[in-house]
Amino acid sequence: MELDELKYVWRSAAVPAVRDQQHSAIAEILQRGGRHAVGTMKRNLGRETLLLLLYAPLIIWYFAGFHGKLRELGWFVFFVLIFFAVYYYIKNRLLSAMLLPEAQVKTSLERQVRGLERLLRFYLVSGTLLAPLSLIFLFFLLYQRLPPPLHPNLFYPSRGTPGWQLPLSLGIITAGCTVALYFANRWYIKTLYGRHLTRLKALLEEITAQ
């Protein structure tokens, strides 16, 4: 019995020691590269947040100018501003949590990395869909609120023009802008966040291999 009790005491004392060693190894790896990657992403997010201030004069211009005819466009830009402000707030909370000591636990860090991946995918999709939504909204608003030009053009065709020409032209322009914005957004997200997220995933693989 005494031998069994000694074995139990030894194992109970060894488990915390192993956990402490694992925790120290994870903390060391994170200090070596993880915190730098997360800190860089937070700085990039801060710069993006400052860029939101550029929406303010645009909103004021739409509300005050054009004799109030484009007030709806001002509201549209305002809601876009609120949408991205909330998104940046959520992403900043996640990045801040990744810098806390609790994030040095492997399972916690893995969960936060998966959450960041979902946020970045949402950023790519929402940013890309913003192009067709903005173009369609802008076209119909301008078409209804502003007077037509003196001479026919692509968006104000003459009466003899086939009815399918305008929708087809709008569809081609919208599709082209959406595809171009998708690749631009993918490069943008990869530059600001993707490379650093890849670094974090590589650190997790290094932790798993230990």
H or E element, residue 189: helix 165-189
| pLDDT band at residue 90 using 50, 70 and 90 as cut-offs | very high
Q: Which residue has the higher pLDDT, 147 or 135?
A: 135
Comparing CA positions, the residue from 135, 147, 134, 156 lying closest to residue 67 is 147
Q: Tell me the pLDDT band of 153, cut-offs 50, 70 and 90.
A: low
| pLDDT band (50, 70, 90) for residue 140 | confident
Residue 13: count other Cβ atoms within 10 Å of its Cβ: 9
Asked whether the beta carbons of 27 and 108 are under 8 A apart, the reply is no
Q: Which residue has the higher pLDDT, 98 or 127?
A: 127
- 55 pLDDT exceeds 80? yes
pLDDT reported for residue 5? 44
User: CB–CB of 141/72 below 8 Å?
Assistant: yes
pLDDT at 45: 92
